[in-house]
Amino acid sequence: MIFADLLFLYVFLPALIIFYILAGFADKAVCALTKEKGFAGSINPAKNAVLIIFSLVFYAWGEPFYIRLMLISIAVNYVFGLLITLKEKPSKAFFVLGIIFNIAMIGTFKYGRFIAENLNALGIPVPLPEAVSPVGISFYTFQSISYLADVYRGEVKAQKNPFRVLLYISMFPQLIAGPIVRYETIAEDICSRRITVEDVSEGAFRFFIGLGKKVILANQLSIISEQFLDGELSGLSSGGAWLGIIAFTFQIYFDFSGYSDMAIGMGRCLGFRFNENFNYPYICCSITEFWRRWHISLSSFFRDYVYIPMGGNRRHQPLNIMTVWLLTGLWHGASWNFVLWGLYFGIIIMIEKYTLLKVENKIPKVFLHIYSLFLIVFGWAIFYFEDLGRLGGFIKIMFGASGNPAGGIVAKNAFTVNLYLLIAAVVCSVPLGTLIRKFYDRTIKTSGGAAAMTVLKAAASAGLLWISTLLLVSGTNNPFLYFRF
């Protein structure tokens, strides 16, 4: 199941809300009872049970066969968590074994075919496995790795209750498209959480914002990008190539950050606080900064579990940087263009470290923005074309080296009929929301402001929900970019 889907919005979600509220009453009753008898209990087993069941249904809906793989993975990681902390001193052997298990699993099911293809290309005949790549495997495997690492480092205690590990890994808001939540972040929430009306208000609003980003912006932008990037390159004009890749630049941002917003919003409504995953990445002044703002949960994962353990900036830093970026690229997909894409950013970041970052303050910001955005957009071209031959052809067209025309009526027409959409995309990429937020927080304190702001907020939510619903009805055009990761 995906979030931007009518069945999810209008069947799954209402059902979950009803059962979750009922479970809340059950938990309260149990709590009151146990308190009377002298137990200190602020746990919520009924809510957790509802959440686990709905999460498993959510996952099985899209991946009815490979749900068993996820369940095995969770069981194994649960056991390893316990084994690592069996003795007073954490067991390095079990930790390493656990990591090997996770890497072997993702290696087999996500990269098996890619590895076999390349071995065959090198002349080593191995049978080609089917390309399966179970939904969300990159996310839940990484969460498992972070869990084992945090347990091994003693940052969290191993969870003795298997259902809580199950809930941590399989919780549906973050299950298939992140953010990559660390166990530490929600360990307390899992055991005992209180949901305030503020949580629900903030979370629901965040959800509608995310829904709008995904359905209204990303899905509509995908019509442009598909038109110009999926067709025949022979007739593509330079203008069309740029329009297509710029549309994709916005599309992937709104798609992914919209999904994160929905995840964070739903998590908040359910009583969990996930960390932010995006922070207006396209306003960055350098590529280094871009990656501090883009998919934060992934970059911080690699920082904390690969870069720093390898030695960070103390030992062979260039090697550490390139390793991290090779892995980042590969994480996005089992294909050479993703490797190339990762290394591309690794090299830029390395160069920036010794040049740009030292003189950043002396350069007017506008140049820094242009510089960063150019490299980002170009990066998305590498990201988009899995076929390296097509990528080469596309780059030639972008820079007018193909002999294709510069403009053309089709590109012009697509530009004008989508102009307001593109403007909206630009506006929503800058921290306008932060300004509105400040205004909101200030106004709501005034006497009449609270009512006005509430009406506005509710109207905006209803509008986003309604327009998204209309577009979901009309569009079978609902591609989900991060599914394959």
Q: What positions carry a catalytic annotation?
A: 332
Residue of the chain from 25, 96, 231, 438 that contacts another protein (CB under 8 A): 231
Please state the closest distance from residue 154 (CB atom) to another protein, in A.
26
| φ, ψ of residue 65 in degrees (nearest 5) | -90, -50
Please state the closest distance from residue 199 (CB atom) to another protein, in A.
9
Candidates 30-38, 85-93, 286-294, 446-454; binding stretch for another protein (CB under 8 A): 446-454
Considering the complex, state which of residue 53 and residue 363 has its C-beta at the smaller distance from another protein.
53
Please state the closest distance from residue 203 (CB atom) to another protein, in A.
10
Considering the complex, state which of residue 25 and residue 367 has its C-beta at the smaller distance from another protein.
25
Please state the closest distance from residue 188 (CB atom) to another protein, in A.
15
Residue of the chain from 328, 345, 472, 480 that contacts another protein (CB under 8 A): 472
14 contributes a contact to another protein by CB under 8 A: yes
**Three-state secondary structure along the chain?**
CCCCCHHHHHHHHHHHHHHHHHHHHHHHHHHHHHHHCCCCCCCCHHHHHHHHHHHHHHHHHHCCCCHHHHHHHHHHHHHHHHHHCCCCCCCHHHHHHHHHHHHHHHHHHCCHHHHHHHHHHCCCCCCCCCCCCCCCHHHHHHHHHHHHHHHHCCCCCCCCCHHHHHHHHHCHHHHCCCCCCCHHHHHHHHHCCCCCHHHHHHHHHHHHHHHHHHHHHHHHHHHHHHHHHCCCHHHCCHHHHHHHHHHHHHHHHHHHHHHHHHHHHHHHHHCCCCCCCCCCHHHCCCHHHHHHHCCHHHHHHHHHHHHHHHCCCCCCHHHHHHHHHHHHHHHCCCCHHHHHHHHHHHHHHHHHHHCHHHHHHHCCHHHHHHHHHHHHHHHHHHHHCCCHHHHHHHHHHHCCCCCCCCCCHHHHHHHHHCHHHHHHHHHHHCCHHHHHHHHHHHHCCCCCHHHHHHHHHHHHHHHHHHHHHHHHHHCCCCCCHHHHC
Number of residues lying near another protein (CB under 8 A)? 76
Please, which of residues 376-405 interact with another protein by CB under 8 A? 387, 390, 405
Residue of the chain from 120, 126, 235, 431 that contacts another protein (CB under 8 A): 235
Considering the complex, state which of residue 117 and residue 202 has its C-beta at the smaller distance from another protein.
202
Considering the complex, state which of residue 60 and residue 343 has its C-beta at the smaller distance from another protein.
60
Please, which of residues 114-173 interact with another protein by CB under 8 A? none
Q: Check if the beta carbon of residue 294 is closer than 8 Å to that of residue 281.
A: yes
x/- track of binding to another protein for residues 400-429 (CB under 8 A): -----x--xxx-xxxxxxxxxxx-------
Please state the closest distance from residue 338 (CB atom) to another protein, in A.
18
Asked if residue 179 has a cis previous peptide bond (ω within 30° of 0), the answer is yes
Residues with Cβ within 8 Å of residue 45, at least 6 apart in sequence: 27, 30
473 contributes a contact to another protein by CB under 8 A: yes
Residue of the chain from 36, 88, 130, 230 that contacts another protein (CB under 8 A): 230
Q: Check if the beta carbon of residue 248 is closer than 8 Å to that of residue 225.
A: yes
Please, which of residues 58-97 interact with another protein by CB under 8 A? 60-65
484 contributes a contact to another protein by CB under 8 A: no
Considering the complex, state which of residue 273 and residue 353 has its C-beta at the smaller distance from another protein.
273
Please, which of residues 171-210 interact with another protein by CB under 8 A? 197-198, 200-202, 204-205, 208
Residue of the chain from 95, 101, 152, 228 that contacts another protein (CB under 8 A): 228
Please state the closest distance from residue 340 (CB atom) to another protein, in A.
19
Considering the complex, state which of residue 370 and residue 406 has its C-beta at the smaller distance from another protein.
406
Please state the closest distance from residue 196 (CB atom) to another protein, in A.
8
The residue among 86, 105, 72 whose CA lies nearest residue 158 is: 86
469 contributes a contact to another protein by CB under 8 A: yes
Considering the complex, state which of residue 94 and residue 207 has its C-beta at the smaller distance from another protein.
207
252 contributes a contact to another protein by CB under 8 A: no
Please state the closest distance from residue 345 (CB atom) to another protein, in A.
26
The residue among 59, 72, 76, 58 whose CA lies nearest residue 135 is: 59
Please, which of residues 276-315 interact with another protein by CB under 8 A? none
474 contributes a contact to another protein by CB under 8 A: yes
Candidates 154-162, 219-227, 284-292, 371-379; binding stretch for another protein (CB under 8 A): 219-227
Question: What span, in angstroms and rounded, lies between the C-alpha atoms of 270 and 402?
Answer: 53
Please state the closest distance from residue 183 (CB atom) to another protein, in A.
23
Amino acid in the structure at residue 404? N
Please, which of residues 22-51 interact with another protein by CB under 8 A? none
107 contributes a contact to another protein by CB under 8 A: no
Considering the complex, state which of residue 312 and residue 408 has its C-beta at the smaller distance from another protein.
408
